[in-house]
Amino acid sequence: MSLKREMLVEAGIEDKAVIDNIMQAYGAGIENAKTQAKSELQAENETLKGQLEQQSQAIKDLQAKEGASEESKQQLADLQAQFEQYKLDSEANLAQVTKTNAVALALKDVGAFNSNDLMKFIDLDKIELDEAGKPLLDDTINGLRETSPYLFQAQEPQPQPNITVGGNPTAGSDKQGDAFDEILSKY
């Protein structure tokens, strides 16, 4: 759920400086969460790259041995198959983690009571990411709003203030006709 200035005013906070400080702290918290998610992904990516390089070096070492026996050649083929499977699994795992984090960050601003609860209703296999890495959630969120409206906060329209000037009206500003003429025109 995103924090808005109107929510703070409704909660009774009227000082603009306090509201500005709260909004600044909220923005910093969101940025910290984004930075933390990004650093975790980068750390996992570096770990996977290191493991990939180790496996590649092991394969090159085995291939470098000329005149290897049939048993060594079989071990090399097995190791290469394991390497390819590990590589595919690692790429799929990294893509899944990236998608999960992107969806979790996107759910912060959809007006849900609890974005973690909402995450349980989303099938991550059906969610696609755009070029910028942002999830395309509009259809899914709209479907959940229709089927499970209790997960979302009610979106009330902003009240339109009725501004009137108190006191007596100014003379001559009322362009209505004479009251006697209005009564006669009815007959």
Q: Which residue segment(s) compose the domain that 40 sits in?
A: 5-156
In a domain, 184, yes or no: no
Per-residue burial over 64-96, b if 16 or more Cβ lie within 10 Å, else e, is eeeeeeeeeeeebeeeeeebeeeeeebeeeeee
Q: What is the pLDDT of residue 169?
A: 63
Query: Burial code of 28-39, b = ≥16 C-beta within 10 A, e = fewer?
Result: eeeeeeeeebee
- Identify whether 70 is part of a domain: yes
Angle at 92 (CA atoms; ends 83, 31), nearest 5 degrees: 125
Number of domains in the chain: 1
Task: Identify the pLDDT of residue 170.
Answer: 64
> For the chain, how many residues are written?
187
Query: Beta-carbon neighbour count of residue 118 at 10 Å?
Result: 21
What is the pLDDT confidence band of residue 179, given thresholds at 50, 70 and 90? Answer: confident
pLDDT attached to residue 23: 83
**Residue 174 pLDDT exceeds 60:** no
Range list of H helices, the chain: 5-10, 16-64, 70-106, 115-119, 138-147, 179-185
- Average pLDDT of span 39-56: 87
* Contact partners, residue 71, CB within 8 Å, separation at least 6: none
166 within some domain: no
Q: Is the pTM of this model over 0.85?
A: no
Residue 165 belongs to some domain of the structure: no
pLDDT at 68: 57
Predicted local distance difference test score (pLDDT) of residue 102: 81
Q: Is residue 175 part of a domain?
A: no
Question: What confidence category does residue 176 fall into, taking pLDDT thresholds of 50, 70 and 90?
Answer: low
The continuous run of DSSP H or E covering 163 comes out as: none
CA atoms of 88 and 183, how far apart (whole Å): 89
9-13, 29-33, 94-98, 153-157: which range is least confident on average?
153-157
> Which one is predicted more confidently, 100 or 64?
100
Answer yes or no: is 11 within a domain. Answer: yes
